[in-house]
Amino acid sequence: MRLKRPALLLSLLSCSSLCLPVAVSAADAPKGNGHDAKTALYTVVDGNKVDAKTLMGWKTWRAMACERCHGPNQEGLVGPALVNSLKVLTKDQFHTTITQGRLEKGMPNFGGVKMVTDNWENLYAFLKGRSDGNIMTGHLYPIPGK
Ligand code: HEC
């Protein structure tokens, strides 16, 4: 009898560690209607294939792990939902925010990171595409033949 309790506890623990990733991956599932769009900032095909610059913007987002605070779908966590912010912020304000940070409010300063200073406009284009609802969440790919 004494051995049964730890076994029960173990099975509960393994459930909580297995069930959580399932819930998270459901939230990460691609969303959007997979359409084509072309604006002055970005080109997107099927919602998940983008021009080379926008792809670099997405890669910068991933490399900097902006999702830790802004969420994997840019819909906010401890930091604001950038899908909303990008409807309001000017390009200049965006630039200032990521290169100077808002340290007292928890937004780090990426101004010393070459990948960000080289790609901030690409990052802006990617986030605009998300905010416009033209770029889907999830993995992005190059446009074939480009
Ligand atoms: C450690 C957490 C954290 C990380 C990592 C982070 N941010 Fe933020 N970010 C924040 C917080 C918190 C704010 C809100 C600051 C405020 O209240 O003004 C913010 C604000 C912003 C804003 C302004 C939003 C608005 O509505 O004014 C932008 C744009 C932004 N972040 C982009 C990024 C990008 C791009 C990255 C990755 C290169 C990134 N952030 C990484 C925490 C983070």
Query: Any idea what the CATH number is for the domain that residue 31 is in?
Result: 1.10.760.10
Is residue 1 in a domain? no
The pLDDT value given to residue 145: 82
What's the predicted TM-score (pTM) here?
0.83
Structure tokens at 98: 């990521």
In this prediction, residue 12 carries a pLDDT of 45
Residue 100 lies in a domain: yes
The residue segments making up the domain with residue 128 are: 21-142
Residue 101 Cβ contacting ligand 1 at under 6 Å? no
Residue corresponding to tokens 């605070």: 69
Rounded to the nearest angstrom, the distance between the alpha carbon of 102 and the centre of ligand 1 is 8
On whether residue 9 sits in a domain, the answer given is: no
Residue 4 lies in a domain: no
Look at the chain and report how many structural domains it folds into.
1
Q: How high is the pLDDT of residue 31?
A: 53
pLDDT block averages, 10 residues each, the chain of length 146: 48 44 44 82 97 98 98 96 98 98 98 98 98 96 88
Q: Tell the residue nearest (CA) to atom 23 of ligand 1.
A: 97
Residue 53 is assigned to a structural domain of this protein: yes
Identify whether 14 is part of a domain.
no
Dist CA 107 CA 139 (whole Å): 25
- 16 within a domain of the structure (yes/no): no
Averaged pLDDT of the chain: 85
Ligand 1 pocket, 126 CB below 6 A? no
- Share of residues in the chain with pLDDT > 70 (%): 77
